[in-house]
Amino acid sequence: MYFRYLLKKYFKSFMLVFIGLSFLYVIVDFMFNYAKLPSSSNLQVLYAFYVFIYASYTLFPLAIIFGFLLSVSSMIKFNEFVSFYSLGFRPKKLLKPFLIFALSVTALMYLLQSSKLAYANQYATSIKENFNYKTYNLFLKYKNNIVYIKSINPFSKMAWGIKVFEIKNRKITKVIYAKRAVFENDKWKTKNAEIMTLKQNVWQKEQKPLVFLENFTPKILSNLKTLDNISFYDAYITIRYFKDIDLNMILSIVFFKIFTPLLMIAFLIYLFFTAPIHVRISNVSLFMIKSVTFSVLLWAGELLIFKFAKQGILPFWTLAVPFLAIVVIDFLVIRRSYD
């Protein structure tokens, strides 16, 4: 009974904060970008939807903490904490519903970050730029091939000016050129490819339809230029198949997505064990102000470390340091509460 009650209270508080923060982000974004949006109301609604999705997985770690603080404030105000403890409830038992809900939301967001919606911000940018969201002049190594792409549109899944150089024993043995190719069923397809093959030191030329570059996904390619964002699945594909790519940048994005919500959950545990249980025991307003301030500072600090890590100034694993530090503090606080 208690579990359902606390879960329901936390759910309401979380949704109130989560929706409020996300809609505020959408409103502010609309104010700054309305002049750049197409006149079509359908596209404007679609733009708002993608911005909301982007805001949701960016701001949900803060919603986890703020929703928890809202619930705790209500429980202290109406003497619910005192009532639970007087009935013999242990702190770990009361923490359980909060922790399970926070971890469930985080798992759901991890799932979202593994899908196409991980690129919601790029979809929104594409609408803002009238679907002319292209990446130009990509040059990289893929398996044993060197690939050059003049331009690529990740949303239409089309590329222009593709050149593939196959290398064996440090020599170019085949050159494939396609003016235009389309990505279908995890492979690139072109109706008319020029293929030059080196056989017995003689180049032989032919033209034919061709299917090539398996798993060479457009969204991965467009992101390799700037690496502003990448889904968990595409990060796995990139690390597995692509060569000569700065893994620190990719792993920085992945670590930021993983450890930011975990950092907030670890801080939630700390706040639970340090929260006052009654208005008369301590200054509840001061506790709330400190909690909100430190929560924002932790989130902003993690974001700052991410910016430095993505630029190569810091190694990607530094994004896990604040989480590990809070876990150690949690252990000490829990140990002290049971002494």
Q: Is 1 helix (H, G, I), strand (E, B) or coil?
A: coil
CA distances from 309 to 99, 293, 303, 315 (A): 29, 24, 10, 6
173 or 64, which is more confident: 64
pLDDT at residue 287, as a whole number: 86
Query: What six digits make up the tokens of 53?
Result: 């999705």
Q: What angle do CA 244, 245, 247 make, to 5 degrees?
A: 125
169 backbone φψ class: left, alpha, beta (φ>0; ψ -120 to 50): left
- 328 pLDDT band, cuts 50/70/90, is very high
Pairing of strands 171-184, 145-153: unpaired
What is residue 209's three-state secondary structure? strand
How far apart, in whole angstroms, are the C-alpha atoms of residue 269 and residue 275?
10
pLDDT for the residue 98: 93
Region 265-283 average pLDDT: 83
* Residue-range domain boundaries for the chain: 2-115+248-337, 131-215
Question: How far apart are alpha carbons 172 and 196 in whole angstroms?
Answer: 10
Q: Are strands 242-243 and 158-168 parallel, antiparallel or unpaired?
A: unpaired
Sheet strand arrangement including 171-184? 202-212, 187-199, 171-184, 158-168, 145-153, 135-142, 242-243
The label of the residue with tokens 């690529």 reads 152
Mean pLDDT of 287-304: 92
Tokens of 188: 């690139």
SS3 assignment, position 202: strand
Q: Give mean pLDDT, residues 113-134.
A: 78
- pLDDT value of residue 182: 86
Distance, in Å, from the CA atom of 111 to the CA atom of 231, rounded to the nearest integer, reads: 10
* 144, 168 contact by CB (below 8 A): yes
Query: What pLDDT digit, counting tens, does each position of 81-121 carry?
Result: 778 877 777 878 888 999 999 999 999 999 988 888 888 88
**pLDDT score of 226 more than 70:** no
How does the average pLDDT of the chain come out, rounded?
Answer: 83
Q: Alpha-carbon distance 7 to 97, whole Å? A: 5
273: left (phi over 0), alpha (psi -120 to 50) or beta: alpha
Per-residue model confidence (pLDDT) at position 225: 57
Provide φ and ψ at 315, rounded to 5°. Answer: -70, 155
Whole-number Å distance between alpha carbons of 303 and 131: 29
Residues in the chain: 339
**163-187 mean pLDDT:** 80
Between these two residues, 86 and 251, which has the higher pLDDT value?
251
- Is residue 322's pLDDT more than 80? yes
Residue 269 has pLDDT above 80, yes or no: yes
Is residue 339 scored above 60 in pLDDT?
no
pLDDT for 258 equals 93
Which range among 35-39, 99-103, 212-216, 291-295 shows the weakest confidence by mean pLDDT? 212-216
Confidence band of 300 (pLDDT split at 50, 70, 90)? very high
CB 216 within 8 Å of CB 149: no
Query: What is the pLDDT at residue 296?
Result: 93
Q: 81 Cβ partners below 8 Å, 6+ apart?
A: 72, 75, 94, 275, 277, 278
Distance in Å from the first CA to the final CA of the chain: 29
Assess whether pLDDT exceeds 70 at residue 224: no
Most confident stretch, 159-173, 218-232, 237-251, 296-310: 296-310
Give me the half-sphere count of Cα atoms (radius 13 Å) on the Cβ side of residue 129: 13
Distance CA 337, CA 333 (A): 6
